[in-house]
Structure 1
Amino acid sequence: MHKNSEGNSVTGLASLLSQVKGKDNHSEQGKAIAFLSGSELPTRRTEIWKYTDLRWFNQHEFVQSNPVKTQQVQEWLEKNVFSSPALSELPRLIMANGQIMKEYSTLLEYSGCQIAIKEDVHGSLGQPQRDFMTALNYAMGQQTLQLTVSKAQHAGTVLFVHLGYGQDAGLASFHCRLNIEIQEQAQLSVIEINAGSGEYFTNPVCEVTVGSGADFEYNKLLNSSLESYNCANLYVSLADHAKYRQFLISKGSKFSRQEVYIDMNGEWSNASFQAVQKLGDRQHADITTVFSHLVPHCQSDQNVKNILSDQSHGVFQGKVFVHQKAQKTNAQQQNQALLLSDQAEINTKPELEIYADDVKCSHGATVGALDEDQLFFLMARGIPYDQARDILINAFVAQAVEDIDDPIAKQLLKEQLGVEVVEDIT
């Protein structure tokens, strides 16, 4: 067990902060450590954490992670990347237990964008004084990866892979930081894959600035170990006429929470967020979003689908904030849940906070089981129950995947969801 200065064992937040306290910390890291040292974990009494319980955090002892064996990374890449002609050709950045694996990372020499690894650098969008997990990242993270796409550069598609490997003694944690700048009229598509084995905790922070007329697509697959814990905070700032699209699949981790904050700072900007949470066993997955319309003539849409079986628990908290200046706003928000078990649970809270009077805003939520009449219809035509069930689940998520623009990402995420073209059987 880890011991404090009095010789007593410590767990949870105290054991994590003990890894960085008393060291030569730079100013932002020092502020975050001081903030967390005087804070407690968010509880369900805190509105934004109402449906997600962090008590597991203080039930663990956090330890320094061990170096990852190259063979583990090689085997995973051969099975999941090198075997796919489309993925294997992409410029890629491979990280394992929070460390860049340079021998596998071709993105570092890619001419389509600039990559810099900076020590003790933070972005300008994150709010560690408000967001507990961002403060934890600022306190624990040592490096920031800066990716820049220059003005009018069309950088194509790049691949990020985050691998986590647990260890026998204690819970290792990884706190990666990524800053992405898409300059004026530039374009970039990112495919991110999270995977691994064993018990570990990941807590990345990503900050994205999309310049005037720029286009950024972000497709993320959270397929981490089913013993792992995953929190991630994403901050996006959009300039005028900027376009941002994100698709997220959450199917891994014992516990996950994805926070997404998007600020529309420029007129005629457009933001789209689509997600599917596909959960089983006792998995808990939380998607919390805040879309802030701060200027006129902006558009956003959110659509989160949940497929929940066994004793899994899904959460969606989506907020649309419309500033008084943000006239002519068009914002849509929808959450749908398909419960495949009587013990599965969904908590949903779509929310509008509007201070402008000339807007088109809507939100809604639907929760239900598979339609028995549709199941009967399919089975009456000779389709076995399991196949009929899969067809209906497929139809539930198929359209969301079809809206992905990047063809490589679309194929990957279709495979992960088991989505395929279903011919008309009528």
Structure 2
Amino acid sequence: MPERGGRASSPSPVTHGKGDRGHSAGAAFNNGFGEGTSMLSRRLGLCALVVAAFGHVGSAQAQLSGDAVKIGVLTDQSAIYSDIAGKGSYVAAKLAVQDFGATVLGRPVEITLVDHQSKVDIGSSLARKMYDVDGVDAIVDISHSAVSLAVQEIARNAQKIVLHVGSAHAGLYGAACSPTGALWLYDTYTLANGLSRALVKEGGDSWFFVTADYAFGQSMQAEMTKVLGSLGATVKGSVRHPVNAGDFSSYLLQAQASGAKVVGLANVAADTANAIKQAGEFGLTQGGQRMAALIFYLQTAKAIGPQLGQGLQFLTGFYWDRTDDSRAFAKRFAAEMNGAMPSQIQAGVYSATLHYLRSVAAAGTDASDAVMRSMKAAPVNDFFAEGATLRDDGRLMKDLFLAEIKKPSEVKGSWDLLKIIRRLPAAEIIRPRDQGDCKMNG
């Protein structure tokens, strides 16, 4: 079939040359966000320990499969997820390469952007070509649960690495886990567990779901229903809608008629924004019902605005204005994205790409089994994930944050939209290893 959204319609691979920021493989454990010499020196001891633990192999002994280390950013450039992933995921990966260095083990690093158009058949076909024909060593992002589940199997069979960032299906580190796969940000279990407990505690003990009719939405609703039941809450009903629905009137009227205290939106991006806007028009919140976004992004908050979104709470893995280091990354990102701030997915792509490159350098090879051992042996330390670890089932044990959209009176800039309420430790919200039905060992 024609390569819709493949290399022909994507930017050419970016090979970073001598003029780029960065360093050689010998300095592969740069902090990952261009910190100054004094800050870097404080980390040298840790870096030395990590390299020693890995048993770093010099570039003269390196075993690489091709003439470059190739990373493919497989994502949605043209459909509903393009704003929260898309080109921004590619830019984030490129910044990670700049911070790591121009080469790894003496070979250049290439980043390629490929569009799966949010279609499983296209994503599967492109992933096979990337691995088998283009020689891609690792695929990162995806941001579509159904595509991720398909690519997980392709990567397993090809013995190549896939780093899921924006995809949320909990099966990726459960029944569908793979020795070559990792899940980097959120998942349906984690989001359901954290958000359900927070809202039930505030009195939200009856729910109605408006659910996107595909793998993520169905999994999200199922996980929420389980947690709500364990907390003594009830689900009064649900309705499914197609992705990119546009008109939510009939779905919201059913939610309104249910009398549920909380209307849970198990959808993403533009669908979430449209549902919230139309819920305001139908007076759901004025009538006492509360809207809960089960997965939400900074870009969606900007789309609906603080007047309509104020007080909406949700979980996030990243906010650009949280620390000095996150602000420094956001400034560089915005310079290449017409002033737009990074989403939690795009920040996660940076982190996954940087840790992959560090691990290739530490392993002395791009062989997937050795690189994954390195990825699981070293902590992930960057502005996105501070001291996180990659569990043996492929789940990154990373904290999330409870965030809230600011009131209009609190906003001081066009992207100054959120405030962080509290940190939620990974160990308390991520599904335990022994409950995920993952059959592999390490």
Higher helix residue share: 2
Higher strand residue share: 1
Query: Which structure carries more relative contact order (alpha carbon 8 Å, separation 6+)?
Result: 2
Q: TM-score, normalised by structure 1?
A: 0.29
Q: TM-score, normalised by structure 2?
A: 0.28
